Amino acid sequence: MIIVMKSGVSQEQIDRVVRRLAEIGCEAHISVGQVRTVIGAIGDREIIQQQPWLAMPGVERAVPVLKPYKFVSREFQAEDTVIKVRNAQIGGGVFAPIAGPCAVETRDQLFETAEAVLDAGATILRGDAFKPRTSPFSFQGLAEDGLQLMAEAREEFGMPFVAEVLDPRDVDLVAGYADMLRIGTRNMANFALLSEVGRVHKPVQLKRGFTATIDEWLNAAEYIYKEGNHEVVLVERGIRTFETATRNTLDISAAPVIKHMSHLPVIIDPSHSSGRRHLVAPLARAAVAVGADGFIVDVHPAPETAQVDGDQALLPAEFAELMDQMRGLATALGVTI
């Protein structure tokens, strides 16, 4: 059961609900969001359901939840969550084009890419300062210098940015610069990182683990949500299958499946799933057709020189062409882009 408190609830009213749960032998999991406090009641379902929760001051509604994930389920919240990243929006009928380099390499590389993706219509810039690499000897990112460059690009172009955080110890550092955090596929089940990101008040992208089921992914989102950060965007980025023609297999069905099961926005990463430049545009176009709330695409002005993921980066002109196609599709589907 989830007990949703009214906005403007007092601490005393919250404490009363928590005390009542303790009296009936149940545990309370409190999640203080920016708008609402919600209390997850854990214990004997029958006993919890018998309580007249609505009679308690400050309680708005009490929602029985049957799924293993509670807060992120449609049962808990019927309306779609809409996320604002400064002047950009994800969800609520708005398709968010997110683009930029996989990694920040140099000021010139970043600024050239940022200007190009902004001109083409992207609303959020991507660019990582911490890179999760398969080999410890590969380029690991510019760390804080990279975040500083991203912040300068935000100033110059007026675009908010998203950056990956790899380590719970770096959450405050990355959140101090970025407008939105990202947890990568390799860290989807890093529960310490999920909880830490749950404690900051910045929207977060949670990538699907490349071997994770949708249930596991939603449970990972629950770790963030339950700490009080309710601004979670799910990113489908491909899963590992027997197929080798692509880097991973984009599970395009994940978007409508998530829409059915959860109120959180879901976006598609056609770059990291396919790993091949010529596949990015077709998969990106599919994102809007299946009802996803956006995409995140790698763009690089000289992919052959890229330190990371050059094989999948679109050239700025290719991204601009894709955006033209996206606008046509969005109009046909009644979606704002």
Q: 205: how many CB neighbours lie within 10 A of its CB? A: 29
51 contact choice in ligand PEP, Mn ion, none (CB below 5 to 8 Å, kind-dependent): none
**212 is in the binding site of which of Mn ion, ligand PEP, none (Cβ under 5 to 8 A by kind)?**
none
Direct distance between the N- and C-terminal alpha carbons of the chain, in angstroms, rounded to an integer: 37
Are the CB atoms for 313 and 301 separated by under 8 Å? no
Give contact residues for Mn ion (rule: CB under 5 A): 102, 309
Least distance (Å) between residue 103 CB and ligand PEP:
7
* Cα separation values, 83 from 86, 93, 183, 229, 318, Å: 9, 11, 17, 12, 28
Q: How far apart are CA 132 and CA 324, in angstroms?
A: 32
128's contact among ligand PEP, Mn ion, none, with CB below 5 to 8 A by partner kind, is ligand PEP
- Evaluated on CA atoms 132, 136, 139, 140, the torsion sign reads positive
Name the residue with the smallest CB distance to ligand PEP. 184
316 binds, among ligand PEP, Mn ion, none (CB under 5 to 8 A by kind): none
Which one-letter amino acid corresponds to residue 177? Y
Compute the least distance from the CB of residue 134 to ligand PEP, in Å.
10
Using the CB atoms, write b or e for 315-336: b if 16+ within 10 Å.
ebebbbebbeebbebbeeeebe
Cβ proximity to ligand PEP, 60 vs 311, nearer residue? 311
What the block records as the tokens of 11 is 């601490």
Query: Between 34 and 134, whose beta carbon lies closer to Mn ion?
Result: 134
For Mn ion, which residue has the nearest CB? 102
- Whichever of 102 and 150 has its CB closer to Mn ion, that residue is 102
Q: Tally the residues of the chain.
A: 337
What six digits make up the tokens of 143? Answer: 């760390």
Question: What minimum distance in Å lies between the beta carbon of 105 and Mn ion?
Answer: 12
Question: Is the Cβ of residue 227 or residue 309 nearer to Mn ion in the bound state?
Answer: 309
Could you tell me the smallest distance in angstroms from the CB atom of residue 269 to ligand PEP? 6
Q: Judged by CB, which is closer to ligand PEP: 238, or 316?
A: 238
Which CB, 91 or 100, lies closer to ligand PEP? 100
Which listed option, Mn ion, ligand PEP, none, makes contact with residue 231 (CB within 5 to 8 Å by class)? Answer: none
Q: Is 29 helix (H, G, I), strand (E, B) or coil?
A: strand
In the complex, the smallest distance separating the C-beta of residue 146 from ligand PEP, rounded to whole angstroms, is 12
Q: Which residue has the tokens 């980066």?
A: 313
Give the other-Cβ count within 10 Å of 54's Cβ.
10
**Site residues (vs ligand PEP, CB under 6 A):** 102, 128, 132, 184-185, 207, 237, 269, 272
How far apart are CB 207 and ligand PEP at their closest, in Å?
5
Q: What angle do CA 293, 294, 297 make, to 5 degrees?
A: 160
Give the separation between CA 303 and CA 285, rounded to whole angstroms: 21
CB of 130 to ligand PEP, least distance (A): 10
- Based on CB atoms, which residue is closest to ligand PEP, 68 or 191? 191
Min dist CB 254 to ligand PEP, Å, is 13
How many Å is the Cα radius of gyration of the chain?
Answer: 21
> Residue 105: which of ligand PEP, Mn ion, none does it interact with, CB under 5 to 8 A by kind?
none
* Residue placing its CB nearer to ligand PEP in the complex, 184 or 203: 184
196 binds, among Mn ion, ligand PEP, none (CB under 5 to 8 A by kind): none
Report the C-alpha gap between 198 and 3 in whole angstroms. 19
The token pair at 199 is 């404690």
